[in-house]
């Protein structure tokens, strides 16, 4: 399977991919790069003829003017080639870096934001994502691919030009030189294999090291670290991973050393051979000193071009892997419907009726199904409370409903239509949610609530929602009111909210998405004080008017204002009914309620 995957991204396929994408983003880069590629070779050829020109003049004892003319014109050509190459090189660098930040990286981000959520949370996806990102941080990765190709072509031009010079002297040099350098190429190939073998180990060690240092520097961790004296543990882990990484580096570099030493010995042999042959020629034929210098320079220089060619070739091999890493993340297949799909319920079909039909779901790693054969019908406009122990599957249920996770068996119906028949992104429009994790963007407060572009923010609605969520006064007290930027670590003068304020912000978010016919609040009062909590309860019916709603909470008091209570246990419905019904039934719910209300009720006695 894995081999097949790799096979589908060969050199040509990757080159075509990168060039097409690059062409889409900036044509000028590719054109400049193509013109740039022979420049180095041209400059090098001129440079290698310079000594011949000078030495020939001296041997022939030409007059000074002739020497000046010849050397002067060669120099002019040389300067011109250098300048052109300098300009093009700077231009290509510029384009390459801009493309990396404004095209390659965003593409990665887009994929991470766009892929099916159930794929996104898989660990294997995380690894692929890391690899794809890594591929942009190498000297020969995705963003450098055109660059390395150009360097390889450049090396090829140089190689050809020098071959042409050497052939004038003796054609047999070429196969001999190539044979020598292929020997070293074998070495590099072996090293490459060795590196590939270590790649994953190294990536894992680096990932761990990064984790430890990220958490150690992260100020949200600072309290626990200090009060519990965790510094020695974190230091120890850092040192362990550091020595792991260093050990790997040592091994890699030892391999590298053997290869370069082999190359040095080869170069020694080639230079000595070239000297011996050329000295012999010079003494026994009428070859000029100038030719001697030209050929010798070409033969030793040939090695440089050849090894550049070989180097670039192996860089290219490695780079091809990186491009494959990049593409294999981008090419991860989504299973949900992203085009077409049936239309969302129209206004007169709202609020929605929701049905779970024998839904089963298990996270891949878990042995046991989190949700098992779960069936439930929620009537239009019904307010449902979901209660149950930690880990009973409440949050999973909600994620299944929202289309973030896909049931392995059974189906979820919205107004009788299978949720899978909707367009995935349209389907999300049905839901306004407050999940338990708090995610604040480093953008303005207004954008954090509206979660849309600046010019699309409905200011009146925004104000209304801030008031409803009881955060209006707080926001008004900020220096730039709702335009104040959030996250003070990123923006100077940025604001950071307390736990209670964050929870209100999240509520405002959900309210702002007023068009969504299904409201889901997952533990929205955990950080609120009793009075704020009570306020929310009282307002809840306003929030939920005209919507089908789900309220998940451990505060059983909150279930009193819902139409129906669902007690979830081990991924199944254990009990269902109104508060009074369930209390009368005197089952598990009644037990739980008594457990929690005990402390409050004693007062009444």
* Binding to another protein in span 306-365, by CB under 8 A: none
Kindly write out the interface string for residues 95-114 of this chain, putting x where it contacts another protein by CB under 8 A and - elsewhere: --xx--xx--xx--xx-xxx
Find the binder of another protein among 15, 35, 55, 573 (CB under 8 A). Answer: 55
Task: State how far Cα 434 lies from the chain centre.
Answer: 26
Is 517 among the residues that bind another protein (CB under 8 A)? Answer: no
- Residue 340: exposed, middle, or buried by beta-carbon count in 10 A (0-12, 13-18, 19+)? exposed
Q: Say if CB 374 and CB 410 are below 8 A apart.
A: yes
* Binding to another protein in span 375-414, by CB under 8 A: 387-392, 395, 399, 402, 404
Strand partners, 371: 361
Name which of 312 and 405 has its Cβ closer to another protein. 405
Find the binder of another protein among 8, 93, 168, 483 (CB under 8 A). Answer: 93
* Binding to another protein in span 541-600, by CB under 8 A: 554, 556-558, 560-561, 592-593, 595-600
Alpha-carbon gap, residue 358 to 495, rounded angstroms: 46
Is 225 among the residues that bind another protein (CB under 8 A)? Answer: yes
Name which of 161 and 209 has its Cβ closer to another protein. 209
How far are the Cα atoms of 184, 252, 334, 535 from residue 264, in angstroms, in the given order?
10, 19, 51, 80
Is 194 among the residues that bind another protein (CB under 8 A)? Answer: no
Contacts of 187 (CB under 8 A, 6+ apart): 258, 259, 262, 263
Is 196 among the residues that bind another protein (CB under 8 A)? Answer: no
Name which of 271 and 570 has its Cβ closer to another protein. 271
Is 16 among the residues that bind another protein (CB under 8 A)? Answer: no
* Binding to another protein in span 264-293, by CB under 8 A: 264-265, 267-268, 271-272, 275-276, 279-280, 282-283, 289, 292-293
Is 464 among the residues that bind another protein (CB under 8 A)? Answer: no
Is 198 among the residues that bind another protein (CB under 8 A)? Answer: no
For 539, other C-beta atoms within 10 Å of its C-beta total 15
Alpha-carbon gap, residue 287 to 264, rounded angstroms: 29
Find the binder of another protein among 31, 183, 186, 490 (CB under 8 A). Answer: 490
Q: What is the largest CA-CA distance in the chain?
A: 124
Contacts of 151 (CB under 8 A, 6+ apart): 308, 312, 315
Is 487 among the residues that bind another protein (CB under 8 A)? Answer: yes
Name which of 382 and 522 has its Cβ closer to another protein. 522
**What is the DSSP code string of 471-509?**
-HHHHHTSTTGGGPBB-TTTSTT-B---HHHHHHHHHHH
Degrees to nearest 5, angle at CA 349 with 347 and 353: 130
Find the binder of another protein among 31, 79, 179, 183 (CB under 8 A). Answer: 79
Is 515 among the residues that bind another protein (CB under 8 A)? Answer: no
Is 171 among the residues that bind another protein (CB under 8 A)? Answer: no
**Stretch in the footprint of another protein (CB under 8 A) among 14-22, 182-190, 241-249, 350-358:** 241-249
Residue 435 host element (H or E)? none
Is 480 among the residues that bind another protein (CB under 8 A)? Answer: no
């Amino acid at each position: 399977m894995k081999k097949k995957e790799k096979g589908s991204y060969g050199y040509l396929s990757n080159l075509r991919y990168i060039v097409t994408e690059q062409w889409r983003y900036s044509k000028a880069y590719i054109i400049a790069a193509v013109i740039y590629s022979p420049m180095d070779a041209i400059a090098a050829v001129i440079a290698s003829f310079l000594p011949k020109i000078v030495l020939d003049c001296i041997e022939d004892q030409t007059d000074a003017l002739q020497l000046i003319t010849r050397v002067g014109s060669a120099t002019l050509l040389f300067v011109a080639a250098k300048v052109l190459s300098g300009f093009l090189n700077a231009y290509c660098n510029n384009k390459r870096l801009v493309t990396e930040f404004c095209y390659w990286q965003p593409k990665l981000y887009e994929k991470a934001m766009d892929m099916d959520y159930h794929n996104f949370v898989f660990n294997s996806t995380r690894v692929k994502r890391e690899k794809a990102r890594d591929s942009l941080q190498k000297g020969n990765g995705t963003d450098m691919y055109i660059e390395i190709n150009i360097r390889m072509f450049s090396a090829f031009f140089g190689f050809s030009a020098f071959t042409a010079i050497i052939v004038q002297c003796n054609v047999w040099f070429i196969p001999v030189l190539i044979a020598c350098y292929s020997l070293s190429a074998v070495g590099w190939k072996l090293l490459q294999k060795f590196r590939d073998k270590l790649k994953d180990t190294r990536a894992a060690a680096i990932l761990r090291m990064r984790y430890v240092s990220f958490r150690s520097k992260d100020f949200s961790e600072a309290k626990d670290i200090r009060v519990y004296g965790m510094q020695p543990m974190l230091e120890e882990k850092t040192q362990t991973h550091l020595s792991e990484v260093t050990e790997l580096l040592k091994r890699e570099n030892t391999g590298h050393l053997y290869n370069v030493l082999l190359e040095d010995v080869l170069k020694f042999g080639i230079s000595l051979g070239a000297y011996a042959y050329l000295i012999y020629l010079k003494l026994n034929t009428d070859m000029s000193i100038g030719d001697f210098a030209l050929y010798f320079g070409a033969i030793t220089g040939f090695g440089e071009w050849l090894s550049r060619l070989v180097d670039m070739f192996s860089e290219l091999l490695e780079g091809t892997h990186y491009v494959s890493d990049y593409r294999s993340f981008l090419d991860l297949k989504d299973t949900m419907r992203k085009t077409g799909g049936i239309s969302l319920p129209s206004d007169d079909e709202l609020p929605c009726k929701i049905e779970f039909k024998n839904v089963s779901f298990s996270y891949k790693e878990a042995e046991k199904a989190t949700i098992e054969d779960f069936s439930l019908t929620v009537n239009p406009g019904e307010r449902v409370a979901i209660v149950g122990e930690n880990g009973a599957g409440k949050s999973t249920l909600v994620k299944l409903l929202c289309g973030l996770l896909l049931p392995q068996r059974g189906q979820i119906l919205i107004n009788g239509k299978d949720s899978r028949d909707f367009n995935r992104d349209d389907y999300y429009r049905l839901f306004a949610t407050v999940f338990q994790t708090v995610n604040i963007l480093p953008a303005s407060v207004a954008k954090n609530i509206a979660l849309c572009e600046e010019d699309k923010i409905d200011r009146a609605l925004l104000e209304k929602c801030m008031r409803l969520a009881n955060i209006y006064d707080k926001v008004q007290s900020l220096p730039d009111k709702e335009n104040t930027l959030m996250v003070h670590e990123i923006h100077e003068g940025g604001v950071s909210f307390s736990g209670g304020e964050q929870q209100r912000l999240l509520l405002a978010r959900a309210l702002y998405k007023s068009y969504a016919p299904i409201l889901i609040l997952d533990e929205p009062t955990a950080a609120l004080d009793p009075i704020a909590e009570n306020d929310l309860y009282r307002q809840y019916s306003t929030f939920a008017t005209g919507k089908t709603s789900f309220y998940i909470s451990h505060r059983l008091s909150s279930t009193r204002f819902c139409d129906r209570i669902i007690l979830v246990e081990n991924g199944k419905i254990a009990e269902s009914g109104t508060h009074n019904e369930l209390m009368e039934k005197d089952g598990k719910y009644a037990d739980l309620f008594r457990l929690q209300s005990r402390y409050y009720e004693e007062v009444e006695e």
